[in-house]
Structure 1
Amino acid sequence: MPRPRSLTQSQIAAAALAVVDDDGLAALSMRAVAKRLGTSTMALYRYVQDRHELEGLIVELVFAGVDPVPPAAGTWQERVAEMARRVRAAIGAHPEAVPLTMIHRHSSPGLLRWSEGVLEILAGAGVTGAARVVALRTLTAQIIGAVQLERLGPLAGRGTDAIAALSPQEFPLMAETAREARSVGDDRVFERGLAALLRGLGPS
C-alpha cells in the first residue's frame, strides 16, 4: 500500500478556502477538504484536529496578505482608513469566509496583529479607555458590514429596483433614494461611511 503523501497546513488552508470560495461556507467540512487534497478524511485528521482548527487556518490565510504595520505618514484618520482598506480588500476577496473572521477574531494572530496596529494609531492620537474600545469595535463592524452588503450586490440590485418602483405617494423618499443608489458604487459608500465614522472616533 503506498504511503499517504505528507501535507502542510498551508496546503490544507488553501484547499479549505477553495471549498468556501467555490461552494460557500455551508459546504466546508473535513471530508470536502480531504477530497480537494486527494486524500482520505481520516488522513486529514493527522494534521488538523477538527473543523474549528480548519476555520482558523482559513482566517489566517485570508489575513496573510494584510500588512499589520501602520502607515508612517498621514493624519491618524488617514492612517486608520488605510488599515481598514487593507482588511476590506483581503476579506472582500473571500466574502464567504467573512463570518469566520468574527468567530475567530479573538484567536487569529493575523487579525490580532492588525488590531494592534490600529490601536497603536489610536493610542498615538490620544484615543484612550472606553473610547478606544468603541473605536476598534465600530471600525471592525464598519468593515465587516460593508463587505457583507457588497457581497449581496446582485440581490441588493434587484431590491433597489423594487424600491425605486414603489409608489411615490406612499414612499417618496425611499423611491427617490433607491433611484439615486443605482449610481453610487461600493467604493464611494465605503469611503464616505468610513470618513464619517472616523470623524466621530477622536479623543473624547
Structure 2
Amino acid sequence: MPRPRSLTPDQAAAAALAVIDRDGLAGLSMRAVAAELDMSTMALYRYVRDREELEALVVELVLSGVDSTPPPATEAWHDRITVLVARLRDTVAAHPAILPLTPTHRHRSPSVLRWSETVLGVLGEAGIEAEDRVIALRALLAYVVGAIQQEHLGPLAGSGTAAIAALPADEFPHLTATARDARSLTPDREFSGGLDLLLRGLGARSAP
C-alpha cells in the first residue's frame, strides 16, 4: 500500500478526526487512521507512537481553533469570561465526539493551556483569589464539557423530555413538571443560563 514520504502531526490528526467524525470515538484505531491515510498500520507507527498520542493530536487539532485573545479589559469580567467560554464551546461543539478525550489530554494541549491562562488572568483581575481561581477554572471547563455532552451526546430534548414528562406525576412531581417546562428551552438558552448561574456564584467570591 502506498504511503506519503513523510507525515506531519497535523496530517495524522486530521485523518484521526475524520475517522471520529464519521465512525465515532469507538471507531478510532491505528488501523482505521492508517486506512484513512492510505498507508499500512506499521507505516503509521513510524510517525505516531500509539492511540494515546493520536488522541492528543486530535484534541490539539480541534482546540487550536479556540481564540484565546483576552476580550477588552473595558468590559465587565463576567462578560469577558462569557466570551471566552463561548469560544471554547463553539469550537468543541463542531466535533462533539472528541469530548471524552478532552479531560484526559487537556494538560498536553498548548491551545487549552493558552485559553486557561487567559481565563485565569481575567479571574485574577476580577479579584478572585488563588484557590477560588483554581476551582473556577475547573468548574468552567467541567461545565463546558458537560453541557456539550448533554446537548450532543445525551440530549433530553425531544423523546427524552417526553419520556420524563410521561412518568407518574404522583411519584415524580418535580421531574415531570420540569420536563414540561424544558420543552421551551433552546440549547443556547440552557447553556447561557447555566453559565450565568455559575458566574453569579463566582461573582460572590470576587473582590468588592
Which interval holds the TM-score relative to the shorter structure? over 0.9
Residue 86 of structure 1 and its aligned partner are, at CA, apart by 0.7
The 1:4–1:131 alpha-carbon spacing in structure 2 relative to 1, beyond 3 Å, is: closer
Within a 5 Å distance, the mapping from 1:55-66 to structure 2 comes to 55-66=55-66
RMSD: 1.8
Question: Which residue does the alignment assign to 2:107?
Answer: 106
Which residue in 1 is equivalent to 2:30? 30
Calculate the TM-score normalised by the size of structure 2.
0.92
Structure 1 residue 5, shift from structure 2 partner: 3.2
* 1:157 shift after superposition: 2.8
Distance 1:9 1:173 in 2: 50
User: Deviation of residue 177 (structure 1)?
Assistant: 1.4
Secondary structure of 2:158's counterpart equals: helix
Question: Does 163-172 or 50-59 show the bigger shift?
Answer: 163-172
Query: Residue by residue, what CA displacement relative to the aligned partner does 1:39-58 show, whole Å, maximum 9, x if unpaired?
Result: 11111112111111111110
Q: Distance in 2 between matches of 1:3 and 1:54?
A: 18
Identity of aligned residues (%): 60
Q: How many residues align?
A: 204
- Aligned position for 1:120: 121
2:116 counterpart letter in structure 1? S
Aligned amino acid, residue 117 of structure 2: E
Distance 2:4 2:127 in 1: 56
Is 1:165 matched with 2:160?
Answer: no
User: How big is each residue's C-alpha offset from its partner over 1:60-98, in whole Å with a ceiling of 9 and x where there is no partner?
Assistant: 111111011111141100001111011111111111101
Confirm or deny: 8 A CA contact 2:2 2:39 kept in the other structure: no
Task: Report what 1:89 is aligned to.
Answer: 90
- Look up the match of 1:186: 187
Measured after TM superposition, the shift of residue 7 of structure 1 is: 2.0
1:177–1:6 CA distance, 2 compared to 1 (3 A): same
**Residue 139 and residue 3 in structure 1: after superposition, are their counterparts in 2 closer, same or farther (change >3 A)?**
closer
- Kindly provide the amino acid, as one letter, of the partner of residue 70 in structure 1: P
- Relative distance call for 1:3 and 1:121 in structure 2 (3 A) is closer
**Is the 2:161–2:180 Cα contact (8 Å) retained in structure 1?**
yes
Correspondences of 1:118-157 after superposition (within 5 Å)? 118-152=119-153, 156-157=157-158
Q: Write the distance in 2 (CA, Å) between the matches of 1:161 and 1:76.
A: 38
- 5 Å-filtered alignment, 1:14-25, equals 14-25=14-25
The Cα shift of 1:154 comes to 5.4
1:76 alignment counterpart:
77
Moved over 6 A (4+): none
TM-score using structure 1 length: 0.93
Whether 1:177 and 2:178 are equivalent positions in the alignment is yes
Gaps of 5+ in 2: none
**Cα drift, residue 4 of structure 1:** 4.5
The letter for the 1-side match of 2:65 is G
